[in-house]
Amino acid sequence: MPIITYRQALNQAIAEEMERDDNVFILGEEVAEYNGAYKVSEGLLDKFGPRRVIDTPISEGGFTGLAVAAATYGLRPIVEYMTWSFSLVAFDQIINNAGQVRYMAGGQFEVPMVIRGNSGGGLRVGATHSHTPENWYANVPALTVITPAFPDDAKGLLKSAIRSNNPIIFIENEILYNYKDEVPEGEHLTPIGKARIRREGSDITFIANSASTHRALEAAQTLASQGVEAEVIDLRTIKPLDFDLIAESIRRTNRAVIVEENKPFAGWGAQVAYMIQRHLFDELDAPVIRVASLDAPQPYNAKLEDYLMPSADRVVKAAKAVLA
């Protein structure tokens, strides 16, 4: 299999689905003439033309609303945000329109659309550009929330998302765009709602998503050198949540650490921790610990931002506390 970057995997997925289905189109700020703010849409304008690769004004609420309407009429829009932090000005369109219209219409309309873009901290862009909002959107019953950590899943999950008849929140992480790995060519689909074990282990379970999966894997490698084998679950999809795989792992290891970049209060990890204690209490040999970002706005300063975010070192310390 060829080795390509995360951003190239996303580009492949979009191009292949646009070739497969003429109803698929992409819109957003700088997706056409500039080839995308992060070059995910590179080459698409030349290949598919301005009717299907559409530059929009700086108005997330406006072009998200346009996409919702297009989806209800049978098209399959892909909305790109420069950052998910900018989705806040489109909250009404995402939640009250994309998220509710099918239910409120008694199933007369479907909303087959994907809203995607980057999120997360670590790039020194400050508090208004560094949100990690998967927990916000997972609170909306009709929305599917996907957060791939590796290029193969970025491609396979985006292709599956574009084919879905439901509104999909597809949250990438900016620090992963240049990450390289093997990605299957051609028809590669990853099932929505299924987690994946990225590393097998018998002593403790790490549950993570997006860039935090890589932090968990780094921590697992450190622990392995000290005789502790950690199993790492990459959730891939926050909603629906693959709790069956989580339960299967914890029944083997009897311990869990949750690793997320969300702020700690009401992050998705809080829900997972609740479900573990609710359904697996007798399987646990120690309390569940969550490793999240600190409860403070994202700083510009590099040392402060590194201190605020979850790290492999913090995961290792949490694991040792659980194992103790």
Question: At a CB cut-off of 8 Å and minimum separation 6, what does 82 contact?
Answer: 28, 29, 30, 37, 117, 118
pLDDT per position as a tens digit, 209-225? 999 999 999 999 999 99
Do the two domains 3-182 and 196-323 of this chain adopt the same fold? yes
DSSP letters for 294-310: -SSPPPSSHHHHHHHS-
Give the percent of the chain with pLDDT over 90: 98
Using a cut of 0.75, tell me whether the model's pTM lies above it: yes
**Measured distance CA(111)–CA(102) in Å, rounded:** 7
The pLDDT score that the predictor gives to residue 1 is 85
DSSP letters for 147-202: ---SHHHHHHHHHHHHH-SS-EEEEEEGGGTT-EEE---SS----TT--EEEE--S
Q: Which fold has domain 196-323?
A: Rossmann fold (3.40.50)
Catalytic residues: 60, 129
Across the range 19-33, mean pLDDT stands at 97
Whether the per-residue pLDDT at 283 is higher than 90: the answer is: yes
Whether the per-residue pLDDT at 49 is higher than 90: the answer is: yes
Burial readout 228-251 (b: 16 or more C-beta within 10 A, e: otherwise): bebbbbbbbbbbebbbebbeebbe
Ordered by start, the domain boundaries in the chain are 3-182, 196-323
Query: Over the chain, what is the mean pLDDT?
Result: 97
Question: In which band, very low, low, confident or very high, does the pLDDT at 136 lie, cut at 50, 70 and 90?
Answer: very high
Q: Which fold has domain 3-182?
A: Rossmann fold (3.40.50)
**Measured distance CA(19)–CA(261) in Å, rounded:** 35
| Residue 132 DSSP code | -
Question: In which band, very low, low, confident or very high, does the pLDDT at 143 lie, cut at 50, 70 and 90?
Answer: very high
Whether the per-residue pLDDT at 186 is higher than 90: the answer is: no
Number of neighbours of residue 187 by Cβ within 10 angstroms? 9
Whether the per-residue pLDDT at 194 is higher than 90: the answer is: yes
pLDDT per position as a tens digit, 57-111? 999 999 999 999 999 999 999 999 999 999 999 999 999 999 999 999 999 989 9
pLDDT per position as a tens digit, 155-183? 999 999 999 999 999 999 999 999 999 99
- Starting at the edge strand found earlier in the chain, the sheet holding 53-55 runs 53-55, 24-28, 76-81, 114-119, 168-173, 144-146, 237-239
CA distances from 136 to 51, 145, 200, 308 (A): 32, 10, 30, 20
